[in-house]
Structure 1
Amino acid sequence: MSNFVFVLDTTKKPLNPVHPGQARRLLKLSLAAVFKRFPFTIILKEEVTETPKKITLKLDPGSRFTGIALVQDNQVIWGAELQHRGQQIKDNLTSRRQLRRGRRGRKTRYRKARFLNRKRPPGWLAPSLQHRVDTTLTWVKRLMRYCPINSLAVELVKFDLQKQENPEISGVEYQHGTLMGCEIREYLLAKFNRTCKYCGAVDQPLEIDHIYPKSKGGSDRISNLTLSCHLCNQKKGTQDIKVFLTGKSDLVNHILKQAKTPLKDAAAVNSTRWKLFNSLKELGLPIETGSGGLTKFNRKRLNVPKTHFSDAACVGQVSDNLSFKTLQPLLIKATGHGCRQRCRTDKFGFPQSHALKAKFFEGFQTGDLVSASIPSGKFVGQYVGRIAIRFRPSFVLQLPNQKFNVHPKYLTHIHRNDGYNYAFK
């Protein structure tokens, strides 16, 4: 049960999506041609005047994944799971900031620091959060070009972070929060009885340590903090706690219970939900919203397995006869369009090489999906993979299990690089 195929007429007007079998028949009879590989779209060789049926695009926005589903006549005909790269953007910005700070410290040539001379516009979001909104909006607009979408439905959920940390909290305690009336250090000293959590040392100066290291995405929230002596803190460094306490599974489990559920993903969804909703409203289509509780209720009522795209299909008002015509969603992974950094540096921040200005060579760019037909030599045969270009007629063809050099004259484009990788579950 694969995704339905998008159909355009000869004027590029979107028509009703068709079953893959029907699309194969149209292609075999030369009544249509392949227009786009991802999402798979065919274009007819004639103009069609009939009005397409109504289709609703449903979204289940998340921090790392966004579920996408197209519903027509209570049938889920197309699904996708979009993987964001917010953490990668955050890591890249942190690396850039550290390199520039190091160059300023060495008093070498650098891009001067700009502190208070840049104003943030109203509604500004951090780049790692704005990326989630932009990527989702990009795919909504892309699907609107290939499919006759008449309405939208989006899950507008707000996570209660205090309830996630402590489900039993209520009343005055909920209003005051965890640290009411005390500082963080005093709170931790009382909580851990002035003892190092790793080695049990007492009567020593104790330091605040992050259970999940900040360098690996850990937060400063109180449930991610513990006490340790100076020796344990230095020895642990940025290691994962399971690596640092190898062979002490009981102690690891005890500490991880105190760390509880990470709240970074919930905070990201809370920060972007209204920005995404207002951006979708600007598209001019009717938009329906639903809560996370309603989505879960619909999924349980229909006995649907929990996946990102099936959650999207259960957003908003759903009838009892909803059926899935596809169980193989398109997996979309955001990879970006490369790096804009002109001066490449080594791990110490010193200049190492300079990126070339050109991105294309003989009509190809790095990341293009190509078909290689090699007539002779060691690698004779037919291959399909992505390429990494060089500025000479010798590209690297990257396959799942190997890679080798190939001349561009043996290559044919299948799908040009658009900043995403595609696969099927």
Structure 2
Amino acid sequence: MFVLDVHSRPLDPCHPARARRLLAAGRAVVVRHTPFVIRLRDRTVADSVVQGVQVGIDPGSRHTGIAVFRTGHASHANRTGLYGIQLDHRGRQIRDKLTVRATLRRGRRSRNLRYRAPRFNNRTKPQGWLVPSLRHRVDTTMSWATRLTRWAPVRTVHVERVAFDTHVLSAGRPLEGVEYQQGTLAGCEVREYLLARWGRACAYCGARGVPLNLDHLHPRSRGGSDRIDNLVVACIPCNQAKAATLAEEFLTDRPKVLAKVLRQVKTPLRDAAAVNTTRWALWRALKITGLPVAVASGGRTKWNRSRTGAAKSHTLDALHVGHLNTVTGWPSVVLVVAATGRGTYSRTRSDRYGFPRLALPRTKRHHGYQTGDLVRAVVPAGTKTGTHTGRVAVRSTGRFNIRTRHGLVQGIHHRHVRLLQRADGYGYIIRPEARHSAAFSPPPEGGGIHAGSNR
């Protein structure tokens, strides 16, 4: 649990049992419900020994993992996970809404309407500009990084600056002077990229949840190279059955699979470039905060996770970012934070032609609540008897809907509702965290994906 002193300055986090004792003794008060933050009434930073914590961030396209951990006194490479957050982005919804808006505007301009003068002199974009769907990922991650600095004494931030080194992927050879391309980390970037490209499934049969090898479409024994467009991931039976034959010969009786494989290996690295662009923008934003920022790559994170036997998840990836020896403690639960937005500026709904068809009410708050508030409703009798906790959707009639972890409960009267936390643009769900992979054994060199055939 996050702890603040009497002046709302962050102290070291404490165990939930200790937080309950402090609240029961009247020595602390609740500042925030989710994440749970308390403020002490009788202690300041000057009266305490603050060790500090560190934050790991694993940026992603749909989800970003954030981990708060403490390092050991003897070795800063030993970590103990304290808190895990999975931040769900709404970049795809933003992209779809902008596409719809652009389509409606384009349609209106092409109709026989009044003349509208062109406005092309305001279309310049500053250097480093990101499209709104990508900017959203950076802004929401920075928002939570800033919140954590207010609730915990953050000393260092570890972030993945690149997921894949696109230069190395295109070159197909080690680069001189790049440390992670030498020794035990050699090949991790290529393996991690191929797993992401092929969805962690065999390229030939689509098998999932099995060990995957690297396979050359054009075997090296017949003049093939190690370039990324000549590599796929294949399960062990397919890899052994293909042997040193060409992919065209191996898939002769399956022309659709062959066409799919050849089409997918020719796709450009735009996905990797987009992820790298977002991570670089996040790194620059973190540097502005003044905190020490340590950077690493996705290949290093995967290698760390393979050595500790951790399960694949966004929060555990964040816990394994950067230089690491071992993990001595794991967060038992993870807080799933979904970006929901704060409503809309639009006061109308449009028809299929893009013209307004009705007006929306300007009053957002009804009976002291507004949509998005975190509430608890205790219904004593009726078909909805019980306690319901979640985000509320208000209605002017006083009958509210509450979205809980078990589903939607409709028609709860406002007199049964009690406020827990005002809406802040996010929805929260707490779920258990899987600590170790289902079939953990000492991993092979290369971080969980086998070296495969070198033919």
> Which letter maps to 2:347?
R
Preserved CA contact (<8 Å) 2:52 2:152? no
After superposition, the C-alpha distances for 1:57-95 in whole angstroms (9 at most, x for unaligned) are 111112222111112122111111112111111111000
Residue in 2 aligned with 1:55?
53
Residue in 1 aligned with 2:123?
118
How far did residue 367 of structure 1 move? 1.6
After superposition, the Cα gap between the structure-2 partners of 1:113 and 1:267, relative to the gap in structure 1 and judged at 3 Å, is farther
After superposition, the C-alpha distances for 1:208-254 in whole angstroms (9 at most, x for unaligned) are xxxxxxxxxxxxxxx9xxxxxxxxxxxxxxxxxxxxxxxxx956534
After superposition, the Cα gap between the structure-2 partners of 1:141 and 1:402, relative to the gap in structure 1 and judged at 3 Å, is closer
Equivalent pairs, count: 343
Gaps in structure 1 of 5+ consecutive residues: 171-222, 224-248
Give the alignment partner of residue 343 of structure 2, picking from 338, 341, 344: 338
Give the alignment partner of residue 21 of structure 2, picking from 25, 33, 41: 25
How far did residue 46 of structure 1 move? 1.8
Inter-partner Cα distance in structure 2 for 1:168 and 1:321: 31
Give the alignment partner of residue 43 of structure 1, picking from 36, 39, 43: 39
Aligned residue runs from structure 1 range 154-303, under 5 A? 154-157=159-162, 159-160=164-165, 253-260=257-264, 265-303=271-309
Aligned residue runs from structure 1 range 379-394, under 5 A? 379-394=384-399
Inter-partner Cα distance in structure 2 for 1:259 and 1:272: 26
Preserved CA contact (<8 Å) 1:150 1:286? yes
After superposition, the C-alpha distances for 1:29-59 in whole angstroms (9 at most, x for unaligned) are 3332322122111222222321311211111
Q: CA RMSD in A?
A: 2.9
Gaps in structure 2 of 5+ consecutive residues: 72-78, 175-228, 230-252, 432-455
> Which letter maps to 1:421?
G
Residue in 2 aligned with 1:90?
95
Residue in 1 aligned with 2:378?
373
Inter-partner Cα distance in structure 1 for 2:421 and 2:14: 21
When structure 1 is superposed on structure 2, of 131-140 and 369-378 the one drifting more is 369-378
How far did residue 274 of structure 1 move? 2.2
After superposition, the Cα gap between the structure-2 partners of 1:283 and 1:110, relative to the gap in structure 1 and judged at 3 Å, is farther
Inter-partner Cα distance in structure 2 for 1:341 and 1:111: 22
Inter-partner Cα distance in structure 1 for 2:60 and 2:7: 36
Preserved CA contact (<8 Å) 2:161 2:276? no
Per the alignment, in what secondary structure is the counterpart of residue 51 of structure 2? coil
Residue in 1 aligned with 2:409?
403
Inter-partner Cα distance in structure 2 for 1:422 and 1:392: 26
Per the alignment, in what secondary structure is the counterpart of residue 142 of structure 1? helix
> Which letter maps to 1:70?
V
TM-score by length of 1: 0.73
Inter-partner Cα distance in structure 2 for 1:111 and 1:27: 63
Give the alignment partner of residue 136 of structure 2, picking from 110, 131, 137: 131
After superposition, the Cα gap between the structure-2 partners of 1:111 and 1:374, relative to the gap in structure 1 and judged at 3 Å, is farther
After superposition, the C-alpha distances for 1:267-293 in whole angstroms (9 at most, x for unaligned) are 321222222111101111111111222
Preserved CA contact (<8 Å) 1:345 1:351? yes
Inter-partner Cα distance in structure 2 for 1:144 and 1:401: 33
How far did residue 370 of structure 1 move? 1.0
After superposition, the C-alpha distances for 1:135-181 in whole angstroms (9 at most, x for unaligned) are 110000000110010111111115355876x89699xxxxxxxxxxx
Inter-partner Cα distance in structure 2 for 1:347 and 1:267: 36
Percent of matched pairs sharing the same residue: 41
Preserved CA contact (<8 Å) 1:103 1:109? no
After superposition, the Cα gap between the structure-2 partners of 1:53 and 1:115, relative to the gap in structure 1 and judged at 3 Å, is same
Inter-partner Cα distance in structure 2 for 1:109 and 1:58: 55
Residue in 2 aligned with 1:352?
357
After superposition, the Cα gap between the structure-2 partners of 1:109 and 1:84, relative to the gap in structure 1 and judged at 3 Å, is farther
Preserved CA contact (<8 Å) 1:10 1:43? yes
After superposition, the Cα gap between the structure-2 partners of 1:107 and 1:418, relative to the gap in structure 1 and judged at 3 Å, is farther
Residue 107 (structure 2) pairs with residue 102 (structure 1): yes
Residue in 2 aligned with 1:199?
none
Per the alignment, in what secondary structure is the counterpart of residue 285 of structure 1? coil
Give the alignment partner of residue 68 of structure 1, picking from 66, 70, 77: 66
After superposition, the Cα gap between the structure-2 partners of 1:129 and 1:398, relative to the gap in structure 1 and judged at 3 Å, is closer
When structure 1 is superposed on structure 2, of 98-107 and 71-80 the one drifting more is 98-107
Give the alignment partner of residue 334 of structure 2, picking from 329, 332, 339: 329
How far did residue 111 of structure 1 move? 8.9
Per the alignment, in what secondary structure is the counterpart of residue 329 of structure 1? strand
Per the alignment, in what secondary structure is the counterpart of residue 274 of structure 1? helix
Residue in 1 aligned with 2:221?
none
When structure 1 is superposed on structure 2, of 143-152 and 257-266 the one drifting more is 257-266
> Which letter maps to 1:62?
G
Preserved CA contact (<8 Å) 2:376 2:417? yes
After superposition, the Cα gap between the structure-2 partners of 1:149 and 1:168, relative to the gap in structure 1 and judged at 3 Å, is closer
Residue 9 (structure 2) pairs with residue 13 (structure 1): yes
> Which letter maps to 2:9?
K
Inter-partner Cα distance in structure 2 for 1:353 and 1:279: 41
How far did residue 110 of structure 1 move? 11
Inter-partner Cα distance in structure 2 for 1:304 and 1:394: 45
How far did residue 326 of structure 1 move? 1.0
Preserved CA contact (<8 Å) 1:133 1:275? yes
Preserved CA contact (<8 Å) 1:154 1:287? yes
